[in-house]
Amino acid sequence: MMKVIFFCLYVSLCIHCSKGNLNIPKKVAVSAVIAFGDSVLDQGNNNYFTSVIKANFPPCGRDFSGGIPTGRFCNGKTLADVFAARFGVKEYLPAYLDPHIQDKDLQTGVSFASGGSGYDPLTPIITSSIPLSVQLGFFKQYIGRLKKNIGEEAANATITNSMFLVSSSSNDFLSNYFTVSTRRLHYDVPAYVNMLVDLAVTFVQEIQKLGARKIAVLGAPPLGCTPIGRTIGAGVQRSCVDKFNKAAELFNNMLKQQLQLLSTSLPQSRVAFIDLYTPFINIVKNPQQYGLEVTERGCCGSGTIEYSFLCNKLIPSCFNDSKFLYWDSIHLTEIGYSIYADHVLPDLVKNLF
């Protein structure tokens, strides 16, 4: 009953909030935000890893504090930063591999995510990114450091009261399955989706065993409507690509179902599926409703293919990225992440707290 009351309070507060600045009820307490997965949540870990997929150079970060390119695949804050700020944890979520990270930063959370990673272990090999298995190892290391810094009891309490974010799968489809033929030789789309879902559920179980109690798993966006999806799948017409979107929808439906089943078997934990697909479709179809003008291409360069090293200071970028949903051909602008966060926060609060 109390959870229903808190959620209703949240909705009531949201009605009176300005767009892009929704607040979380004070009764919802989060001690830290901890992130795993791909570039949506990569706060700069790829800076310290041998990978060509990096974003630590202009124009990335041009709207970040000080205009500094931090390794975030964005013009400013990523979704991890937006969530951390919305829950009142801190303004910026740091990358765990940042050598300048302070002990006090660990107490309010970090990101282990790596641009290019995925659930399929073949994906990080293709993209030269940090596999989820290695990210899990970093998390174990992080727990050890936290216990050393604040003691075992306080560390366990921090982990228990943290919100865990997991974002993967996009690279499994766009960088792996639909681009490299290896998996297609052995799996049709339903079989591949089934494999990814099994791997996702296993990963959630692994972090749950290590103490995670509030876990939000992001689904796949409409991959066929991303600028790069339109470019590689639709040619000059650049319409949304149906086969990419259908694969994402199938993945989301199966993942949501399996996470619901998993949640019933983990009574001490809350596991929530977070829908990326529906909000994105709505934003793409109704950009003016959100103050946007461009959704079919990114701000960087031509906006059709550029990301990572192709998005650089030698390639002109748009003047006003606040009118663009996408920063580059894959990743959202800061305003795009903010709009998306406002879409999903009510469900996130309802399902995790």
| Catalytic residue annotation | 39, 328, 331
Cα dihedral sign, 53-334-232-243: positive
Give Cβ neighbours of residue 286 (< 8 Å, ≥ 6 apart).
none
CA dihedral of residues 327, 32, 159, 337 (deg, nearest 10): -20
Which of the 8 DSSP states describes residue 176? I
Phi, psi (deg, nearest 5) at residue 306: -75, 135
Q: Which residues partner with 32 through β-bridges? A: 162
3-state secondary structure of 305: coil
Secondary structure (DSSP) of 5-71: HHHHHHHHHHHTSPTT-----TT---SEEEEEESTTS-SSGGGGSS-S----STTTTTTSGGG---S
The full 3-state SS of 86-100, as one line of letters, equals: HCCCCCCCCECCCCC
Number of Cβ within a 10 Å radius of residue 234? 16
Angle (CA) 243-262-153 rounded to 5° is: 125
Running DSSP on this structure, what letter comes out for residue 320? -
Q: Map tokens 């504090």 to a residue.
A: 65
Distance CA 271, CA 259 (A): 7
